Structure 1
Amino acid sequence: MKNTNTNTKLILLHPYIQKQGNSNRLWLLAFISILTLAFLATLIYTRDRESTLNNTNTSIISSVISSTNAVSAPLPATVINTLIHYASKSNDTYHMTYSDLKPISDVLRKCSSPCNLLVFGLTPETLLWKALNHNGKTVFIDENRYYAAYIEEKHPEIDAYDVQYTTKRSEMKELIASAKEHVANECKPVQNLLFSDCKLGINDLPNHVYEVDWDVILVDGPRGDWPEAPGRMSAIFTAGVLARSKKGGNPKTHVFLHDFSGEVEQVCGNEFLCKENLLEASGSMGHYVLERMNESSVQYCKGSSSSLST
């Protein structure tokens, strides 16, 4: 009898094949799940980061606006009075008295913002002037380049420049006579001192100093305690020219002259700031108010009298 099962083949499916297919599916599912989670995490992180950045930027802008508003706000009267009070209570003989400080403070307080203040001399009141004129531009001029650099390094907010005076206190009369002789040329009362050859004019300051319309000028330097000292002749003359040469802003300039009882201050004040412009003299402070003049002017004062003794 013939065996009909001779060519029959037995095919067995090993369980490993089924396991391998399930494993591949699991890995694929896991991979897709990881990609999905990564996408969701990235989306959430991006949204959170954008929200954080927006909040941070808003906070920064708000801070800047608040700071700007704080800076532009005027100093309260109580703060001004407190600063003047403590500044005048120092036992240092070189400090100004209350009667000297008050007129300057009053003018700065009433000055339209921003107020431009020019100060000849770095003194114990330097930080006070900067604080009282916190809305405006304050520039200091001093004859000591090392001290000016020291002040700027110690107080970066202070804008100070040094100037090399070529005058001598003992030559005051000759310098004044020369200025009056050349009043129609190099020593005109209205001019840009940057291009001036007048012996009393200060022409070596940074260019922008001559371009500012100064509202208040305080002459409290340079030194003038001995014959070879530079004296304040150039500072007083320059203050008068800057005041008369304003191009814009308030046509009036307040010029304060400290140590008003000194010979140089009295003589040069009369010659270049003029008696008719003297508003008041309290303590050791002279307060002048000068008005802008025409470019063709060739006379410092209305009167032709001179303070120089013959």
Structure 2
Amino acid sequence: MKNNLSNGTKLILLHPYIQKQGTSNRLWLVAFISFLTLAFLLTLIYTRESFSISATTTVAATVTSTSPPLSKAVVKALVHYASNSNNTDRMSYTDIKQISDALRQCLQPCNFLIFGLTPESLLWKALNHNGRTVFIDENRYYAAYFEEKYPEIEAYDVHYSTKLSEMPELIAAVKEQVRNECRPVQNLLFSECKLGLNDLPNQLYEVDWDVILVDGPRGYWPEAPGRMAAIFTAGVLARSKKGGNPKTHVFVHDFNMEVDRVTSDEFLCRENLVKSKDMMGHFVLERMDGNSSQFCRHSSASSS
């Protein structure tokens, strides 16, 4: 022992406590590596499942968007049976066919906006196959009921503050503000125009509508809201399109009613009237420049 010590050889003894510390550190290292491995496996599984769900959703959306349109035979059958119902509130065959023809002219899925929930509502949804069909109604309870009964229907309620008896004053107010709040090209969400509907869901003001049907609200007695605001709003939405087809088909049902005809002359314009038959007025409006300050190129019959 002395010789070994004298030669410079040192004997190192490890305390049992230090040995325990080394073992503990190794256990912690093994646990940490196991945790990282488990976390990696869970992340890998979650990523694969998310990718699978995303891929499935994308494929489903692609199939939906590329599904073929309704055949002419199916369209004719729908129009025929809808117009031959015993319900006296329904549109005539001629009126329905005008709208059906306009929907078929869309080169891509149509954006179809309808003012009024009517007996034809399900028909409009069916005819606008693959497209977006939105209904606006004055009765919040009926709109909610309709959506609950038919989950595929997209319907919203809107408050009309107008009265049928106020039509002359309302039209005069628009003419006074035609360069400001009542411009023919604008985002009505930010408008204070008396005839502009500014309480629709925000997203609807960004949609480029291809076909608009005004078949509501009620307008058969002095205190009824009348369709002045709906017609005015339809005219602004059509002229304010940012993309898609620059033309918009606007249909006004009950065009034989004086108020509807006069308001249409003012804001949809006689020069854009394509056809007037039975109870339907059919207008085709084109997108206008943002600096425009007149609805019609020529004075309307009512203003003259």
2:209 is equivalent to residue 248 of structure 1:
no
Contact 1:254 1:287 in 2 (8 A): yes
The one of 131, 143, 166 equivalent to 1:171 is 166
RMSD: 2.0
TM-score by length of 1: 0.77
CA distance in 2 between counterparts of 1:87 and 1:140 reads 18
Name the amino acid aligned to 1:167. T
Match 2:193 to one of 193, 198, 211: 198
Cα separation, 1, equivalents of 2:202 and 2:282: 27
Question: 1:186 aligned to 174, 181, 189, which one?
Answer: 181
CA contact (8 A) 1:152 1:160 kept: yes
Q: Which residue of structure 2 lines up, in the alignment, with residue 282 of structure 1?
A: 277
Q: For the residues of structure 1 that align with 2:263 and 2:300, how far apart are their CA atoms?
A: 13
**Aligned-partner residue type, residue 197 of structure 1:** E
Matched, 1:126 2:126: no
The one-letter code sitting in structure 2 at the alignment partner of 1:208 is Q
Partners of 1:257 and 1:194 in 2: CA distance: 23
Distance 1:77 1:176, change over 3 A: same
Deviation at 1:227, TM superposition (A): 0.4
Partner residue of 1:112? 107
Distance in 2, matches of 1:174 and 1:250, equals: 34
The number of aligned residues is 250
- Matches of 2:252 and 2:261, distance apart in 1: 9
Structure 2 residue 281 is the aligned partner of structure 1 residue 297? no
2:65 touches 2:130 (CA, 8 Å); kept in 1? no
Shift of 1:144: 0.2
CA offsets 1:90-121 (integer angstroms, 9 cap, x no match):
12111001000001001111212211000000
**Offset from partner CA, 1:256-280 (integer Å, 9 cap, x none):** 0101100111100100000000001
Superimposed CA distance per residue, residues 227-279 of structure 1 (whole angstroms, 9 cap, x where no aligned partner): 00000000000000000000000000000010110011110010000000000
1:217, 1:239 within 8 Å by CA — same for their partners in 2? yes
- Gapped runs of 5+ residues in structure 1? 1-56
Amino acid at match of 2:98: P
CA distance in 2, matches of 1:245, 1:284: 27
For residues 131-190 of structure 1, the C-alpha deviation after alignment (integer angstroms, 9 at most, x for no partner) is 000211110000000000000000000000000000000000000000011000000000
TM-score normalized by structure 2? 0.79
Q: Is the 8 A contact 2:270 2:300 kept in 1?
A: no
The amino acid of 1:118's aligned partner reads L
After superposition, the Cα gap between the structure-2 partners of 1:71 and 1:298, relative to the gap in structure 1 and judged at 3 Å, is: same
Q: What residue in structure 1 maps to residue 216 of structure 2? A: 221
Q: Is the 8 A contact 2:64 2:130 kept in 1?
A: no
Contact 1:267 1:308 survives alignment (8 Å): no
Conserved 8 A contact 1:173-1:308:
no
Question: Residue 287 of structure 1 aligns to a residue in which SS?
Answer: strand
Q: Residues 1-310 of structure 1 correspond to what in structure 2 (within 5 A)?
A: 68=63, 72-308=67-303
- Per the alignment, in what secondary structure is the counterpart of residue 221 of structure 2? coil
SS in 1 for 2:256: coil
Shift of 1:67: 9.4
- Secondary structure of 2:91's partner? coil
Residues 172 and 111 of structure 1: is their aligned pair in 2 closer, same or farther, counting only changes over 3 Å?
same
5+ residue gaps, structure 2: 1-51
Give the drift of 1:306.
4.8
Paired with 2:77 and 2:65, the residues of 1 have a C-alpha distance of: 19
Q: Which amino acid aligns with 1:83?
A: L
Larger Rg computed on CA atoms = 1
